[in-house]
Amino acid sequence: MSNRKLMVEICNAKNLMPKDGQGTASAYVIVDFDGQRRRTKTISRDLNPQWDEKIEFLVHDVASMATEILELNVYNDNKKTGKRSTFLGKVKITGSTFPQSGSEALVYYPLEKRSVFSQIKGEIGIKICYVDEEPPADPAAEEKKPEAAETPPAETEEKPPEEKKPEEETKAEEKPAEEEKKEEKTTEDQKKEDAPATAPAAEAAAPATPPPPPPVENAAIAQSPKPKQVDESLQLARKHSNLDPDVVSLSNHHRGSSAFNLVDRMPFLYVRVVKAKREDKETDHSTIYYAKLAIGTHSITTKEQSATKPWDQVFAFDKEGLNSTSLEVSVFDRKKKVTEDNKEEVTEACLGTVSFELTEVPKRVPPDSPLAPQWYTLENSPENSPVTDVMLAVWLGTQADETFQEAWQSDSGGLIPETRAKVYLSPKLWYLRLTVIQTQDLQLGSGPEPRVKNPELFVKAQLGPQLFKTNRTTVGSSSTSSNPTWNEDLVFVAAEPFEPFLVITVEDASNGQTVGHAKVQVASIDKRTDDRSTLGSRWFNLVGDESRPYAGRIHVGVCLEGGYHVLDEAAHVTSDVRPTAKQLSKPAIGVLEVGIRGATNLLPVKTKDGTRGTTDSYVVAKYGPKWVRTRTILDRFNPRWNEQYTWDVYDPCTVLTIGVFDNGRYRIGEDDKPSKDVRLGKLRIRLSTLDTNRVYMGLYSLIVLLPNGAKKMGEIEIAVRFSCSSWISLLQAYSTPMLPRMHYVRPLGPIQQDMLRHNAMKIVTARLGRSEPALGQEVVQFMLDSDTHTWSMRRSKSNWFRIINGLSKAASLARWLDSICTWAHPPTTVLVHVLLLAIVLCPHLILPTICLYAFLIVALRYRYRMQAPVTMDPRLSQVDSVGPDELDEEFDGFPSSRTPDQVRIRYDRLRALAGRAQTLLGDVAAQGERLEALCNWRDPRATGIFVVICLLASLVFYIVPFKAFLLGWGFFYMRHPRFRGDMPSLPINFFRRLPPLSDQIL
C-alpha cells in the first residue's frame, strides 16, 4: 500500500491589511491539516510578501482525504515590538479539490474573516497537490527515523503561543510576547523529560504497528493525534484507496442508505451455471458441452465450451414475464465425427436435466452474500454418460443484485452490448488561448514567384478540426513594419486527452503561399487558473518547405485556461457551471437522485418482422458531465426500467435533462450499418424549483416535434429528490456569480462564446460516439439542444409571446390606473385618494408600505405554488400555432435542401415578418428622438415652448410646496369622468408633434 503526502506550496500574498500601526505588516502563515501543523517564515514589513515555501503533510487516511479541511491562517508577527500577534485572514480548502501531482497550478484565494468585525482584505497564492509514494522496502531503517523526528528543528523556537493550542487560536487574536517565551522554555523542558519515557514505549509498539513515515523537511511546530476517534466497526469498513478524491463523492453515503428507494423492486429469477462434472478424465477436444435453460416458452443456452473449461454465466429472467412455474436446466454435448466418405457428422445428445420449482427457490436481497453454487445430479441421464453432475445456483432477487449488470437479461435481449445500461462521462474541456504577438526574420519571396512589394500576412492556427485566423497585416520596408505584429488572441476548445499538436502557420495572403509553420505540443502547454498568473511567451522557429528549413520565427503566448467553464450545452439549460481547474471547484451542496421508473402507452416507431409495430425504448439522463443510459426494454409499449441514479449538485440553478429514445443501433440495417435511434420525447427539470428533501413522483408527457407537427409519444414516470444537508450553503449559492471569475474578468464576446460552445458540442458528440457501446450523435445533439441557434418561426413566436406576457403586467397596471381615473369602481377610487393623501402627508411610509405589501402578496401566493415540477410546455412552445411549412422549415438543414420555389415562399414570409419588426423598431426609435428634440432646437418653436414651461415651472415649484403640487396633480389625474374630455391631453399632443428623424431616412 502506498503512502500519500499532501504538498502545499505557500507562494505569496497580495494587498494585505496593514496591522503594525505603520502602514505595513510582517506576515507569516500557519497551515493545519489532519491534526498536523506547519508554519512559514516571517516576511518583515511587506504587504505583498513572497514566501515560496513547500510544506508536506502526511495523509493518515487516504479514503477520507476528500472530507478533510486544509486551513491556512495568516498572522502579523509583532514580537519585535513586544505586542501581540494579529490576525490577517484565513482560507479553508476542502480535500475534494486537491489535484494529483503534475496538475497543480497557482491559485489565489481571497482571505476570509474570522468574525463579522474583523478587518480583512487581500488574497494568498497557493499550489496544492498530493503524491502517492511506495513504502520503503527496509522497515528496520524506518524505525530509527521517528527518534530523529522527535527533536524539533531550530526554526520552531520562534513559534507563537497560539500554535501550541489550536482551540485557543480561534478565540484570541493576540498573546503577549513575555508569556510566549515562558511557554517556550517550559515546553522544551517537558520534551527533554518525556523523551526517555516515551522511547521504550515506542520500541515496544514498533512490531505491532506499521513503520511511521520519514520526517518531512518542514517539521511540525505542533502536532496532535487525530482529533476524531473512529469506532471499531467503522475502522473495519474503511479501506485505504489510491483513487482520486473526486471519486469519494458526497453522495456515497446517500447511495448506501437510500439505494433503490425511488423505484420499485423488480423480481428477477437468477440462474448461475458454473460447470459440469465429467466421469472420465480423458479430454476429447472434438466434443463440446453447453447447458440449456427452459422456463415455459423461454429458452436460452450457455456458451459452448470444451470439457475442461467452465461456463460461469448468470441469467436473469423477468419474473413477471414468465409463463411457467418450473425451471429446467439441461446439459448437452455435441460431437463431430468423420464418416467413411470423409464427411463430418455432428451429433447432439442430452446428458440429463435438473428441475426446480419456482415456489421453492430461495430469495436473496443485498447486502446478503452471494448464493454459493451447488452440485446437482442430472436426471434421466443415458447410460455411460460422460457428465453426471452440474454446478449451479438459483435464487430470486431484484435489479439491485450486483450480478444484474453483467447477467444475461431476458427483457433487454440478453448480452447485446447496445442494450445494456451504461454511465458515460463527458471529456474534460479546456480553453486553449493562443496569443499571436509578432514574427521576425521572415523569409519572404524566396520561391520562384516574384516578390510582392508590401505583402499581407496573417497567422492561422489549427487544433484538430478547429481553425482560426488573425487579421491581416502589411509588411513594409522599415525596421518596425518588417517584423509584423498582431497581438491577437485565438481561443480553442481542447479536450482531454489532448490533440498531439497545435499547428501555427504564417501565410502570405498576397500570393496564397505558406511562409512557414510551427508545431506546439499541447501536452507541454502550461495551465493557469486566473488572469493574475503571467502568460509565458515563447519563440518558435518556422519551418518552410524542403528548400527552406528555416523560414523565420514567431513569438506566441499559449496556455490552457482553467478558470473558465467551457459551455458545452445551451446557456438556458446548463447543468454545470464549475471551472475546469479542479482547484477552483467548490464542495457539493447537495445530492440529486433520479429514479427512472417506467413509461406507459408508448407509440410504435418501427415494425417487427414486417407485420406489427414495436418499440425498443431506453432513457438517457444528463446532469453535469455525467450521462446515464438505462437498459433497453425490447418490444414493450409499457416498459419498466426501475433504475436509480445519483448526481452531486454544485449549483441549484441548473437543469436536469431526460430523454427517451427508441434503440435502433443494436440491429444492423440493409447497408450493414446500425440504424439511428429515434427520439420519443424529452423533459427538463430545473433544480431551483424543487423543494429540498422531498420526493416528486409522477407521469410526464413525452412530446416530440416532427415535420408534420407535434406528437405525443407516451408518458414517462420518474421520481426526483433533491437532498441538501446545509441550508446555509444552499442560500449562499444564490449570492455567488453564476459563472466562474474569469468569465467576468476577461469575458469572451457573444459571437466568440457561441462559436466555442458549438465546438465543444462537436467534441463531446464525437467523444461519446467513440464509446463502447456508442452514444449516438443524434442522441447527444438532442440532449444538448445543439440546434437552438438555427432560425425557427415557432421559436420566434414563442419568444415574442414571452415578451408580451412580461409586458402584460405593465399593461394590467395601466388598465387598473385607467379604471381608477374613470371611476369604474368608485369605492376603489376613493380608497386610492385616501392612499395618495397618506403618502403625500407621510412620505416616510412609502418604502415600508411597498415592502409590506409585497411581503403579503408573495406570502399569500405560497399556497398556489407548483406542487409538481413543470417540464416541457407545448402551449408555451407554440407547437399548435405554426403550419406544416413552418415546421418543415425548422427541420430543414443549413444550407437549405428544399426546392427554389419553397425557399422563395419562405423568404417572402420572412421578409413580411421582418417588415413588421422593422416598423416596430422605427416607432420605438421615434419616441427617443422626440425626447431628444426637446433640447436640440430642431423645432425652435417647440423647444421655445418647453424652455418657457421649464422657467414657469421653476417659479411655481419655488412658491408651491412639493406636497401640495403632488396632491393636486394626483387629484387632477383621478378626476371624475364628467370633468374629462374625449380628446387626448395637451402634453400628449405636444409630445406627438415633436419631430423625429424618420423623415431623413432614404
Does the pLDDT value for residue 762 go beyond 90? yes
List CB contacts of 690: < 8 A, sequence separation 6 or more: 696, 720, 722, 869
Q: Which residue has the higher pLDDT, 480 or 618?
A: 618
Q: Using one digit for the tens of pLDDT, what is the confidence trace for 927-940?
A: 888 888 888 888 88
CA distance 504 to 520: 8
As a whole number, mean pLDDT of residues 867-876 equals 79
Closest alpha carbon to 421 in 655, 639, 246: 639
207-220: pLDDT as tens digits: 334 444 444 343 33
Give the count of alpha carbons within 13 A of 248, CB side only: 21
Checking if the pLDDT of 969 tops 70, the result is yes
Q: Where are the beta strands (DSSP E) in 382-484?
A: 387-397, 408-409, 422-425, 429-440, 456-463, 466-469, 473-474
Q: What is the pLDDT of residue 560?
A: 92
The alpha carbons of the chain give a radius of gyration, in whole angstroms, of 38
Please report which confidence band the pLDDT of residue 281 belongs to, taking 50, 70 and 90 as the band edges: low
> Once rounded to an integer, what is the mean pLDDT over residues 860-874?
81
Angle, CA 156 vertex, CA 141 and CA 53 arms, to 5°: 80
pLDDT of the residue at 631: 92
> Whole-angstrom Cα distance, residue 615 to residue 847?
61
Report if pTM > 0.85: no
Q: Which helix (H) or strand (E) holds 654?
A: none
- Strand, coil or helix: what is 400? coil
Q: What pLDDT, on a 0 to 100 scale, did the predictor assign at position 923?
A: 86
Cell of 734: 444564490
Residue 143 has φ and ψ, to the nearest 5°, of -70, -20
pLDDT tens-digit readout, 117-145: 788 888 898 988 888 877 665 544 444 44
Q: Which residue has the higher pLDDT, 727 or 239?
A: 727
pLDDT 10s digits, 11-42: 999 889 888 778 888 899 999 998 899 999 99
Contacts of 970 (CB under 8 A, 6+ apart): 833, 836, 840
pLDDT at position 214, please? 41
Q: What is the distance between the alpha carbons of residues 587 and 651, in angstroms, rounded to a whole number?
A: 10
Model confidence at 171, pLDDT cuts 50, 70, 90, reads very low
Q: How confident is the model at residue 180 (pLDDT cuts 50, 70, 90)?
A: very low
CB atoms within 10 A of CB 657: 21
**Cβ within 8 Å of residue 94, ≥6 positions away:** 66, 67, 68, 69, 70, 586, 587
Given this model, what pLDDT does residue 892 score?
A: 77
Distance CA 126, CA 128 (A): 6
Q: What is the pLDDT of residue 820?
A: 86
Asked whether the predicted pLDDT for residue 678 surpasses 60, the reply is yes
Does residue 978 carry a pLDDT above 60? yes
The more confident residue out of 722 and 963 is: 722
pLDDT greater than 60 at residue 246: no
In this predicted model, which residue has the larger pLDDT, 395 or 190?
A: 395
Q: Is the pLDDT of residue 283 over 80?
A: no
Query: What percentage of the chain reaches a pLDDT higher than 70?
Result: 84
Q: What single string gives the DSSP state of each residue in 582-622? A: GGGPPPP-EEEEEEEEEEESPPP-EEETTTEEE--EEEEEE
Least confident span in 255-269, 681-695, 770-784? 255-269
- Residue 445: band (very low, low, confident or very high) from pLDDT cuts 50, 70, 90: low
252 or 886, greater pLDDT: 886
The whole-angstrom separation of Cα 434 and Cα 467 is 12
**Coil, strand, or helix at residue 903?**
helix
**pLDDT digits over 302-316, tens only?**
988 887 788 889 999
Report pLDDT for 920: 83
Q: Would you say residue 167 has pLDDT above 70?
A: no
Quick one: which of 53, 25, 55, 28 has its CA closest to 42?
A: 28
Helix, coil or strand: residue 335 = strand
Average of per-residue pLDDT across 836-849: 83
Question: What would the 3-class secondary structure string for 40-78 be?
Answer: CCCECCCCCCEEEEEEEEECCCCCCHHHCEEEEEEEECC
Percent of the chain beyond pLDDT 90? 25
All three cell numbers of 494: 481542447
**Phi, psi at residue 797, to the nearest 5°?**
-65, -40
Residues 763 and 492: their CA atoms lie apart, in Å, by: 11
Q: How confident is the model at residue 198 (pLDDT cuts 50, 70, 90)?
A: very low
Task: Return all residues near 388 (Cβ < 8 A) that are at least 6 apart.
Answer: 277, 278, 279, 352, 377, 378, 381
Peptide bond into 450 cis (omega under 30): no
Orientation of helix 962-973 relative to helix 940-959, angle to 10°:
120
Nine-digit cell string for 54: 513547500
- For strands 473-474 and 456-463, give the pairing: antiparallel
Contact 607, 614 (CB under 8 A): yes
Separation CA 559–CA 434 (nearest Å): 7
Task: Please give the pLDDT value at position 285.
Answer: 62
Q: Where are the beta strands (DSSP E) in 195-284?
A: 268-278
- Segment 752-767 shows an average pLDDT of 93
CA distance 336 to 348: 9
More confident residue, 989 or 621: 621
Highest mean pLDDT (candidates 146-150, 323-327, 477-481, 540-544):
540-544
pLDDT band at 493 (very low <50, low <70, confident <90, very high): very high
Cα-flanking dihedrals φ and ψ of residue 909, to 5°? -65, -40
Q: Which residue has the cell 423543494?
A: 691
Residue-wise pLDDT tens digits, 385-433: 777 788 999 999 988 888 888 899 888 888 888 888 999 999 999 999 9
Cell of 91: 482560507
Whether 862 has a pLDDT exceeding 90, the answer reads: no
What is the predicted pLDDT for the residue at 148?
Answer: 41
pLDDT digit string (tens) for 770-802? 988 889 899 999 999 887 777 788 888 888 888
Average pLDDT score over the chain: 80
pLDDT in the model for residue 962: 82
| Strand 617-623 to 606-608 pairing | unpaired
Average pLDDT estimate for 473-483: 69
- What integer pLDDT is reported at residue 908 of this predicted model? 84
pLDDT of residue 595: 94
Give me the pLDDT at residue 387, please: 74
Residue 609 predicted with pLDDT over 80: no
- Tens digit of pLDDT for each residue in 794-835? 888 888 888 888 888 888 888 888 888 888 888 888 888 888
